[in-house]
Structure 1
Amino acid sequence: MVDIGKWPIFALCPQEDLKFIQQACVFGAGNEVLYVTKNDEVFVIGTNSSGCLGIGDAQSTIEPRRLDALCGKKIVSLSCGSGPHVVAVTSEGDIFSWGHNAYSQLGNGSTNQALTPSQVSTNLISKKVVSVACGSHHSMVATSDGEVYAWGYNNSGQVGSGSTANQPIPRKVTSCLQNKIVTGIACGQMSSMAVVDNGEVDVLS
């Protein structure tokens, strides 16, 4: 059961539905939420800044709305940035992103916001993604074979490309992770870290 008691936004949900929530991502200073039920349905509620609810418009909703594009996809990892933008990973290893995109944090090669989830596939076609982490305006994923790909805002080198130029599409991080197998990832607002199989923590730069 997800510990949702500390988030007031869940008071907008029918109380009998709360016991069916298996994972949730609360973002936008607690004003927006995406949650997944035990039967793999996906719902959203909130102010919908930059279309971050993924429902095709930028209208707020105080009632749960079904996010049809992701229902049945078996979401295994969720993360959000402060734009906000949202990235979801499915059990099949596919990635979907939507919301704010001024810094290419959606990984689709543009800077246009996205009002609905779209699959991120550039440089990842043959990869199975297992987890995602988002900073303020950048995104990072780990694959089943221990690789890391990152994209988006890069003013502090947080996508690990060796420069500070923004990265519009997923790019494999090699500078500090060459010949290393990554087992975990995390992002700060403008930083990225990876845990490798020997327990070492590497900061991307």
Structure 2
Amino acid sequence: MEEELPLFCGESGKPVQATLSSLKMLDVGKWPIFSLCSEEELQLIRQACVFGSAGNEVLYTTVNDEIFVLGTNCCGCLGLGDVQSTIEPRRLDSLTGKKVACLSYGSGPHVVLATSEGEVFTWGHNAYSQLGNGTTNHGLVPCHISTNLSNKRVIEVACGSYHSLVLTSDGEVFAWGYNNSGQVGSGSTANQPIPRRVTGCLQNKVVVNIACGQMCSMAVVDTGEVYVWGYSGNGQLGLGGSGNQPTPCRVAALQGIRVQRNYRDRSLPLYAHVCCQDPGRARVHVGPVPGPVGGAAAPHALLLHGRRVRLLRLSRRLVAPPHRG
């Protein structure tokens, strides 16, 4: 009988609608930031995302579909209209009536959130236009991003350090923000101030999943192929070299393998990614591995010692993973 091993996925894990039972299992109280909440407040939490460089900010939703924030508020990342810290949970009134479908955050940090209706809101750090509002001013309140997305329904979001991706219900990918390594996929290295559709090799493809690394991007299409672009100095794109890729390129080394999902796991190095082949079974690890200097520049199998991996997909996007250490 196979042993089930929980695998908590990081910044590019699949966003999920968390339940109270899953939150109890994860025990959000182990995060220091939640010590500022009363027991009554903790009991009302449905979804939570702890973020920031030291885990000093949190956004959570309640069973009443209200959104609260708490913490140091670096660059206005709490969306409260100022940069003042708060040690008491404050309701994010600007999103009243909105239900969170998924969210992600970058290193600034900046936050990208999609609602259940497919709208996109961004706020926080914006020095590289990663908010997609056409400016480089930090966003102190959630801003509805509609440029080139007005007739689109966004179903998934992902953030790199300073760039952002969204996936629409019709299988299109839009990107914006910092683009020094081609991570926006525009074919240049100029920063992208507003959402731009990622085309090239994805032009006639239906994308079903997106993921971001620190300065790179990935997409899985409905045929199971993986496309990558952006920084590859450590071989994290799996293309067989270390040159940056300014437009989407299919990972040829995965030919014949039907990949279902991409992940960027916080427990892995910044240059490592995981591609899921058959849920609970095979995994493909893209990027360097221990060994010769320079590591591996092509995908290789990730050994699991015969244990069945149960992907909980409670990522840092929505649900705070257990405190480590």
Instruction: State the TM-score, normalizing by the size of structure 1.
Output: 0.96
Q: Which residue does 1:194 correspond to in 2?
A: 219
The corresponding residue for 2:187 is 162
SS for the counterpart of 1:176 is helix
Secondary structure of residue in 2 paired with 1:106 = coil
- The CA deviation at 1:19 is 2.8
Q: Secondary structure at the match of 2:158?
A: strand
Letter of the 2:118 partner, please give it.
G
- Residue 16 (1) aligns with residue 37 (2): no
Q: Quick one: which of 126, 132, 136 aligns to 1:111?
A: 136
Matched, 1:171 2:207: no
* Distance across 1 between alignment mates of 2:29 and 2:200: 42
**Structure 2 unaligned spans of 5+:** 1-19, 230-245, 247-325
Indicate the larger mover: 7-16 or 28-37.
7-16
Q: What is the one-letter code of the residue matched to 2:32?
A: P
Identity rate, percent: 73
Highest Rg: 1 or 2?
Answer: 2
Give aligned pairs, total: 205
Distance across 2 between alignment mates of 1:195 and 1:157: 18
Secondary structure, in 3 states, of the residue corresponding to 1:159?
A: coil
Equivalent position of 1:120 in the other structure: 145
Counterpart Cα distance in 2 of 1:176 and 1:66: 43
In structure 2, the residue matched to 1:7 is 31
Per-residue CA shift, 1:81-134, capped at 9, x if unaligned? 111111110011111111110000000000011110110000001100111101
Query: 1:32 corresponds to which residue?
Result: 57
Amino acid at match of 1:114: G
Question: What is the letter of the counterpart of residue 181 of structure 1?
Answer: V
Unaligned runs of 5+ in 1: none
Partner of 1:67: 92
Q: 122, 145, 148: which is aligned to 2:170? A: 145
The Cα of 1:38 is off from its aligned counterpart by 1.9
Q: Tell me the equivalent position of 2:268.
A: none
CA positional deviation for 1:69: 0.8
Rounded to whole Å, the distance in 2 between the matches of 1:180 and 1:122 is 22
Indicate the structure with greater strand content: 1
In structure 2, relative to structure 1, the CA distance for the partners of 1:56 and 1:178 (3 Å cut) is same
Cα RMSD after superposing both structures: 1.1
CA contact (8 A) 2:29 2:35 kept: no
TM-score normalised over the length of structure 2:
0.61
Distance 1:193 1:5 in 2: 33
Q: 83, 99, 113: which one pairs with 2:108?
A: 83
Matched with 1:131 is: 156
Greater than 4 Å deviation, 4+ residue runs? none
- Secondary structure of the 1:193 match is strand
